[in-house]
Structure 1
């Protein structure tokens, strides 16, 4: 377990988002260190929510906290009491700043490490050769570069269960397709600029598809429905078509 040190690491700002949300911003650059702060704050708030709290949504460098202003005003437990509805945002900001400053006492949970099997190329990765050609690499070199690193799940978004991953090598960073596909299948692994990700459901998209995983990333019959969560660390493991079919029969 690692501890965050307020004096050295915790710097933040609060920004009101309408009447029902506040953004806690921990920085402007996407780094593992800032993500640790995002994760620690999210854990602390979910374990100690205030009356009227709805949810918090972590992103690359910030956490958006949604709340019911009427319930906060009605309960008046965040301080000595609000005298009008306009003071609710001040109460929430004060409470969230207190949570952030107390992160010195909070331990950051160790990240889950998850291996994601991927069948690269062929019908499962129709853009793999194009990515290799774009960088003057061989197909095997692209696969090696893509699968040898560990990736941090910074946030879930765009589609249910879609992981935004950090840490991909710039050696294979490739622009999106000029014309998006109308349908990209569930499990497709793609590259878009410096990002790599996995499509949890079938959806239109413009990412360069280099492979596919047999794993199901989003299942409404499970709790939580998303296989991956913010803060997870994943590693792609190359598999053959035969192995893909076997995984598909027993995938999570």
Structure 2
């Protein structure tokens, strides 16, 4: 199959913003390009930058019109995006890695069996594949601190459910379209719940309320239901997660 040609589009976002978009769908090369663009802009923000907000395949940049010229900024963004698109975009090397304990299957992952059947493997093999995957926080969105994590192997390109699950609990680990979402609070979802963590993605009482950042590496570590229950009861909403600073 021929690779998708990336054709970045620069779109206006009100009087003080641009959206730089690499694709209309979450295609892996477009996601890598968006993450690369966000990293470059965050490392060297153009003059007048007020906010940089990456999504799966696009980046929003807001600016102060009193401090920069719109056309000059647009030309700079086009140049950087075209440079990235002309190469083979890859996820930048992570500067941080999280290891997050998760209880998979049974009451904490009621749809793991269904997922494993669709993948043509046993539940234990599915868990091993998740935990062996080199995953990244692709973007933060939908709810405060909520990560979209990926990408799982190609076989995990599972469609969303045809009907919403009315609610999954805080810490639910759900999968679809080669991605994982880790819910910080109870939520309805059209994704399949395969596990649960004691880690919370939004902690407003902390100095940094959203512990995860776009680009962070993620590893999931199998834990028992009893271990997750104990971590949940300790009151520390980090839930046993361990952070390594890589560079």
Displacement after TM superposition at 1:233 (Å): 0.6
Displacement after TM superposition at 1:245 (Å): 2.3
Structure 1: distance between partners of 2:95 and 2:50? 25
Structure 1: distance between partners of 2:114 and 2:83? 49
Matches within 5 A, 1:187-202: 187-202=171-186
After TM superposition, the score normalised by the length of structure 1 is 0.75
Structure 2: distance between partners of 1:119 and 1:245? 9
Q: 1:160·1:201 contact (CA, 8 Å) conserved in 2?
A: no
The residue aligned with 2:52 is 56
Structure 2: distance between partners of 1:141 and 1:35? 32
The residue aligned with 2:164 is 180
Q: 2:156·2:176 contact (CA, 8 Å) conserved in 1?
A: no
Report Cα offsets for 1:173-203 as digits up to 9, x if no partner. Answer: 3222222122121110011132222112211
Q: In the alignment, does 2:242 pair up with 1:226? A: no
Q: 2:110·2:194 contact (CA, 8 Å) conserved in 1?
A: yes
- Indicate the RMSD between aligned Cα atoms, in angstroms: 2.9
Displacement after TM superposition at 1:211 (Å): 0.3
SS of the aligned residue for 1:19 comes to: helix
SS of the aligned residue for 2:28 comes to: coil
Matches within 5 A, 1:11-160: 14-25=10-21, 29-31=27-29, 33-45=32-44, 48=45, 50-51=47-48, 53-68=49-64, 72=65, 75=66, 77-78=67-68, 88-94=69-75, 96=77, 110-160=94-144
Displacement after TM superposition at 1:111 (Å): 2.2
Unpaired runs of 5+ in structure 2?
Answer: 1-6, 85-91, 239-247
Structure 2: distance between partners of 1:109 and 1:166? 14
Displacement after TM superposition at 1:238 (Å): 0.6
Structure 2: distance between partners of 1:191 and 1:163? 12
SS of the aligned residue for 2:180 comes to: strand
Report Cα offsets for 1:16-38 as digits up to 9, x if no partner. Answer: 23323112345774237525522
Displacement after TM superposition at 1:144 (Å): 1.2
Q: In the alignment, does 2:220 pair up with 1:236? A: yes
Structure 1: distance between partners of 2:40 and 2:169? 35
Structure 2: distance between partners of 1:13 and 1:94? 12
Displacement after TM superposition at 1:98 (Å): 7.6
Larger radius of gyration: 1
Q: 1:14 to 1:120 in 2, by over 3 A?
A: same
The residue aligned with 2:88 is none
Q: 1:42·1:63 contact (CA, 8 Å) conserved in 2?
A: no
Displacement after TM superposition at 1:101 (Å): 9.7
How many equivalent pairs are there? 221
The residue aligned with 1:204 is 188
Displacement after TM superposition at 1:13 (Å): 5.1
Unpaired runs of 5+ in structure 1?
Answer: 1-10, 79-87
After TM superposition, the score normalised by the length of structure 2 is 0.77
